[in-house]
A and B are shown apart, each in its own frame.
Chain A
């Protein structure tokens, strides 16, 4: 396993992390929600009604985000809590924040050096779709588009340094 510094120093380093980000995401959904994520036939952009973000600081600085529409967020919460969909209430933000937190933690734990050298912020969750996110990072980030129960979700990693 390459260390974070080796990967960052190499060419096309960030793309090398995409499979790890996908694996980290899939594991969270399989273990904590009991479902398999699938790959969409065509890129679908969810209405980003719920966006969870976790900051990374240390050897890797950036922001990992999970965004999806409200229906997907409610279903994730339902599966995490083990309750019927119509019983889901204000826990949605907490649940999606925790999903984002686990994806970020699981991702960094898969890269040598990052488990020790990278800290996570508490999750921040935005609800509502009428917003623009401006990232000042110079390097291109990673983006995964997957389907959760046939609903699109997007996992992004904006890398600042």
Chain B
């Protein structure tokens, strides 16, 4: 997964101003930054949100040029998954039917998902995430607590088995117990083939999901990268510390 000189804007406002980032297979990278630095925008731009316009740069997903795929569903089927900070409610559509439709969309014409296998797989993943069985008949995200929404996102990720996952503020709105369950779920999905980006505002999540690399984003660019200790330094010194470091380096 390689992001090269990515620029993107919403209306006249440029939000991403030359993002460069490479995530090798099997690695988990964290992106940290203040509110408004562009980290959530990065997730939406990768997914193909229609509000954003990419003005420059490219993103390679293995051998695939991500921007050669216009529609968000094409990018998803190419292996990209985004866990959203605020997942949408889809009234009347049950979780079981929703995930089933997503898996069905990955099959060829005339192929039908095996219902028995599907439910076995779904229940196994739910058990691992400590999700109650009756959850499957609830409408997607409708009336969910913050913790339930995040668990539902991780459940979808586990079921769709992406090669590249972006988790946007997965820790927000979680208490300690929920944070542990969600983190365990994410850690269980680490594999030599999968690449993940964890977007977070706080260092807290990174105590549970230990990243291989931590990046700091300021004003739509990655300004600093380092190992997991960078997150701790950031926590201690705050973003003023980053700004000072950058100035002294310049």
Partners in one complex: no
